[in-house]
Amino acid sequence: MASIVHRIKDLLVGLPAVSPLVIPLMLRNPKRLPVFLADTYRTYRAHARLRVPSIEPWELLGFKGEITMKLGENGLFAAMEPSFLMMQLVAMLKPERVFEIGTSQGRSTALIAMNTPPATKIFTLDLPPESQVPSGASDLHLIELARKELGIAFRDTNWSSRITQLLGDSEGFDFKPYYDSIDLATVDGSHTYKFVRCDSMNAFRMIRPGGVILWHDFESMRSEYGVSRFVDEMRDRHGFKVYRLGREQGDSRYAVMRVDAESKKRLAAFAANPSTF
């Protein structure tokens, strides 16, 4: 029932983007119709300059110089622009310690690993395969996939020794050993607002000054997703400099923030008392 409600909401959100292309799409593949409308609406917002300002990796980091990137290895390749931008950012940042909330098959984990120095330690957290699905979680099909193929993209690779697979529900997981020690934190667990907020608070605790926080699936128009809502609150209510990673007309699906010493203090204060956010 909940999925039907969300599908109806997705259709309503996308109504301003309706075009004649909807009719043949609806006839050929009705399940893709809500996604088509949401993506078209996002394009409309871009042209209307209603989107969050964009920033490219070199601008965010003040990077000047050359980098060497690996676009693929061991049969895994970056197939989309969002992954390329994330990999570019990682190659420039050269993080010593990375914490990823939301492993799934480990594709992003592997793409990060292949573009970080050999000494980089990567920690990635996901639900134990045998655990119950948390109440209010999104993307149940991805949770089921992770039960069968958790971390499959980096298993038995030459980076696997640098990757630590952690198991637990992010709502109750003990993040204390990682406080103030992470250079790159990625929030990519369940995408409902409740979990995005919880996972972000833990990212605030873990990130150290100079580090970067990434939120995946930003700007998705799916009604069950809360990533955009949370990022909008950070920008509009609290004045944090959070950007859309990419070019002005691009579509990276990542929101990004570089954390300096002052913003770290503010983030830590919110994490200590989330009700003030």
Instruction: Express as a percent the part of the chain with pLDDT over 70.
Output: 79
Residue type, 76: L
Q: What is the 3-state secondary structure (H, E, C) of 205-264?
A: HHEEEEEEEEEECCCCCCCCCCHHHHHHHHHHHCCCCCEEECCCCCCCCEEEEECCHHHH
pTM of the model: 0.83
Residue-wise pLDDT tens digits, 55-95: 999 999 999 999 989 887 877 777 666 688 999 999 999 99
Residue-wise pLDDT tens digits, 18-44: 567 666 766 777 766 666 666 666 666
Q: How far is CA 247 from the centre of its chain?
A: 17
Instruction: Report which of 242, 221, 248, 227 is spatially closest to residue 42, judged by C-alpha positions.
Output: 221
Query: Residue 44 corresponds to which tokens in the numbers above?
Result: 């409309």
| Range of weakest confidence among 4-13, 74-83, 142-151 | 4-13
pLDDT greater than 80 at residue 9: no
> So what's the pLDDT on residue 90?
96
Question: Is the model more confident about 39 or about 188?
Answer: 188
Instruction: Report which of 195, 277, 168 is spatially closest to residue 232, judged by C-alpha positions.
Output: 277
pLDDT greater than 90 at residue 276: yes
| Range of weakest confidence among 44-58, 76-90, 187-201 | 44-58
